[in-house]
């Protein structure tokens, strides 16, 4: 398969080079091809009245019932936030009935990746329960990792932060926690997961916006291998999303989770010129259309020597198909 793709690539490259050299390809066509190739898209959504349509949000969760978790009556957008009104449904064990879990598909994460959100969780009329909202990284409803803000029923329904994970449908506490505080002091946190490639460890932070900024959770840092589902998403790709779970609590008015943003930082493969997670013909085209250009910081200059040329083309070709 790889050999076949290489053959196609080489043929395509020769063909396009010839077209460009002989000026057979009109500039307008070349420009439209370049714009179709696109530019680097940051994995950041500020939820400005809706999802950023360039990011490809999805409500689907494999192995969940329903597969499409969207319930339009429970989801709305403020001018700069996503608001989800909680309802019954959970990823816990074999229940796999979560509702309103939006996520982005990601390829394998590279380099010193980090994932961050800011969430406010209002308990409203809910009975005592481990009501929670936060980040979730998943392969499917039975293989996921979450980091969340949570109300603690056994501690007077005060707030804290924690994490959990599931492998093949078996749930385990992630061994992460933080300080416990009265929700009247603030019901908003920022949550962050950060990977250190030099140590192979993953770290977990929270900021309850009390002036202390990022605090590291107790139980952090940890080897990535402690959390097989988190490791699977990081190394093979998966979905990174946001969730709220009433944890069996009942009562009205229902709790509301308000997400301010989601940010995913991730080093792309150097040959993934358009940073869409795959080295393929679009990257090849982008190098071709930048051929000969001498300039700093151009994505088509894969080897960063200041010039887009055949060396860069070769690097894309030899990485073809990689993610």
By the criterion CB under 5 A, which residues form the site for Ca ion?
Answer: 91, 96, 141-142, 272, 274, 276, 283, 301, 303, 305, 307, 312
Distance in Å, CB of 322 to Ca ion, minimum: 10
**Residue closer to Ca ion, measured from CB, 117 or 290:** 290
Distance in Å, CB of 297 to Ca ion, minimum: 12
Distance in Å, CB of 60 to Ca ion, minimum: 15
**Residue closer to Ca ion, measured from CB, 165 or 208:** 165
**Residue closer to Ca ion, measured from CB, 62 or 183:** 62
Considering only CA atoms, which of 251, 288, 247 is closest in space to residue 97? 247
Distance in Å, CB of 140 to Ca ion, minimum: 8
Q: Using CA atoms, how far apart are residues 70 and 50, in angstroms rounded to an integer?
A: 14
Question: SS3 for 296-322, per residue?
Answer: CCCCCCCCCCCECCHHHHHHHHHCCCC
H/E stretch holding 163: strand 158-167
The backbone region for 55, taken as left when phi is positive above 0, alpha when psi lies in -120 to 50, beta otherwise, is alpha
**Residue closer to Ca ion, measured from CB, 104 or 141:** 141
Q: How many angstroms separate the first and last alpha carbons of the chain?
A: 16
Distance in Å, CB of 164 to Ca ion, minimum: 11
**Residue closer to Ca ion, measured from CB, 207 or 276:** 276
Q: How far is CA 212 from the centre of its chain?
A: 26
Q: In what order do the strands lie in the sheet with 103-106?
A: 103-106, 238-245, 132-140, 143-152, 158-167, 170-177
**What token pair was written down for 40?**
């680097």
**Residue closer to Ca ion, measured from CB, 158 or 291:** 291
Distance in Å, CB of 262 to Ca ion, minimum: 22
């Amino acid at each position: 398969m790889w050999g076949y793709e290489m053959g196609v690539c080489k043929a395509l490259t020769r063909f396009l080079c010839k077209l460009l050299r002989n000026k057979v390809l009109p500039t307008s066509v070349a420009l439209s091809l370049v714009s179709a190739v696109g530019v680097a898209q940051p994995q950041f959504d500020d939820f400005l009245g809706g999802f950023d349509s360039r990011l490809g949000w999805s409500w689907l969760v494999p192995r969940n019932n329903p597969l499409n978790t969207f319930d339009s009556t429970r989801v709305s957008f403020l001018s700069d936030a996503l608001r989800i009104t909680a309802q019954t449904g959970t990823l816990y064990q074999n229940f796999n009935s979560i509702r309103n879990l939006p996520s982005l598909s990601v390829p394998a994460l590279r380099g010193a990746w980090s994932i961050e959100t800011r969430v406010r969780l209002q308990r409203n009329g809910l009975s005592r329960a481990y009501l929670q909202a936060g980040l979730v990284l998943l392969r499917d409803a039975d293989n996921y990792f979450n980091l969340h803000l949570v109300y603690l029923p056994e501690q007077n329904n005060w707030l804290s932060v924690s994490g959990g994970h599931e492998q093949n449908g078996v749930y385990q506490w992630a061994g992460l926690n933080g300080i416990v505080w009265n929700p009247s002091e603030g019901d908003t946190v920022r949550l962050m997961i950060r990977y250190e490639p030099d140590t192979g460890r993953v770290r977990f932070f929270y900021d309850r916006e009390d002036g202390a900024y990022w605090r590291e959770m107790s139980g952090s840092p940890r080897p990535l291998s402690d959390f097989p589902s988190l490791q699977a998403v990081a190394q093979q790709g998966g979905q990174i999303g946001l969730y709220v779970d009433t944890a069996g609590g009942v009562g009205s008015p229902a709790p509301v989770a308000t997400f301010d943003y989601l940010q995913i930082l991730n080093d792309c493969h150097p040959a993934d010129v358009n940073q869409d997670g795959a080295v393929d013909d679009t990257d090849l085209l982008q190098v071709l259309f930048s051929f000969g250009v001498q300039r700093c910081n151009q994505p088509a200059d894969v080897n960063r020597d200041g010039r887009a040329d055949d060396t860069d083309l070769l690097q894309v070709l030899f990485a073809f198909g990689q993610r």
